[in-house]
Amino acid sequence: MTEQMRQAMKERHTVRQFDGTPLTDAEKSILRSRVDELNKQYDLSIALIESEKSPLSFLGKTLMGGAGVYSYFVLAADDRDGEDEMLGYAGSDLCLYAQMNGLNTWWMAGTFNRRFVEGLVSGKKIVSIIAAGHGKTQGVPHKSKRPDQVSSYEGEAPEWFNNGVQAALLAPTALNMQAFTITGKGNTVSLTYKSGPMSGIDKGIVKHHFELGAGKENFEWA
C-alpha cells in the first residue's frame, strides 16, 4: 500500500475539469470506507457527497474554469485546536487514495460555494472540499521550489531525509506557496509553515507527504 501511495504522490496533479460521469458503486464504496477509517482514527467528520448541483462558486467556474464536479469530500470537524492540520493530513491521504484508484482530485479552500456546502454538512467547521472524479486530463506537475530552498539538515543528510523533502515538494499547497521549512538533526525532524489562513491545512498535507517519502520508521517529529 505504501508503495502505491508513493507512486500516487508522483502522479497526482490538480485537475479542475471532470467529465461529469458519476463515481461507480465500486469507487464510492472504497472511498467511503477510507473516509470511515480516517474519521474514526482522527475523530473527524469528513463526508463524501454527491450532489446534482455543482458545489463550485462563480469564481470556481469562471476564473478557475472548473467543470463537471458532482462528487467531493467535505473536510469537516468539530471546531477545536489543530483541526485544520488534522483535516489537511487526512485530506492528503484521500487525494492519494483516490489517485491510486484511478480518480483525479481538486482541493478547494476558496472557490467553492460555502453556503451550499454548509447546508449539506451542518454543525461542523468546514475547511475545504476536495473534488474527486474522472478528470478530463491527468493535470500537470506544479512549479516547484528546490530542496535547498525549503530544508536543511545538520551534518550530512541521510537518504530518508532527502526522500522526505522530495515528497513534501510534491504536495499540493494553497496557491502553490510551498511555504514550509523542514529541518533535521539525527532522527528528529521539525516542520514549520509560514503563518497564513491556510497554513494549518498545508502543514498537515506536507507532513503526510514527508512521512510517506521518508518512511515513518526512520524519524520522529520534533
Question: Any contact of residue 57 with ligand FMN (CB under 6 A)?
Answer: no
- Out of 75, 198, 206, 212, point to the residue binding ligand FMN (CB under 6 A): 198
Closest CA to 183 of 155, 202, 204, 143: 155
- Out of 117, 205, 206, 214, point to the residue binding ligand FMN (CB under 6 A): 205
> Minimum CB separation from ligand FMN for residue 127, in Å?
8
Q: Which three cell numbers stand for residue 29?
A: 464504496
Residue corresponding to grid cell 504522490: 9
- Out of 6, 8, 9, 14, point to the residue binding ligand FMN (CB under 6 A): 14
Question: Any contact of residue 172 with ligand FMN (CB under 6 A)?
Answer: yes
Q: What are phi and psi of 93, to 5 degrees?
A: -60, -45
- Out of 173, 209, 211, 214, point to the residue binding ligand FMN (CB under 6 A): 173
| Closer residue to ligand FMN (CB): 45 or 128 | 128
Which residue pairs from 141-144 have beta carbons closer than 8 angstroms and sit at least 24 positions apart in sequence? 141/13, 142/13, 142/14, 142/172, 142/176, 143/176, 144/169, 144/170, 144/178
Question: Cα Rg for the chain, rounded, in angstroms?
Answer: 17
Question: Any contact of residue 48 with ligand FMN (CB under 6 A)?
Answer: no
Starting at the earlier edge strand, list the strands of the sheet with 151-153.
151-153, 180-185, 188-193, 220-221
| Closer residue to ligand FMN (CB): 160 or 193 | 193
Q: For the CA atoms of 149, 180, 39, 32, what is the dihedral angle to 10 degrees? A: -40
> By CB under 6 A, which span of 17-25, 42-50, 106-114, 157-165 interacts with ligand FMN?
106-114
CB 151: neighbour CB atoms within 10 A? 24
Interaction residues for ligand FMN, span 58-77 (CB under 6 A): 64
| Closer residue to ligand FMN (CB): 63 or 222 | 63
The 8-class DSSP code of residue 158 comes to P
Which residue has the closest beta carbon to ligand FMN? 172
Residue 35 near residue 94, CB atoms below 8 Å:
yes
- Out of 94, 202, 211, 213, point to the residue binding ligand FMN (CB under 6 A): 202
- Out of 5, 6, 8, 13, point to the residue binding ligand FMN (CB under 6 A): 13
* Contacts to ligand FMN by CB under 6 A: 13-14, 64, 107-111, 128, 139, 142, 172-176, 198, 201-202, 205
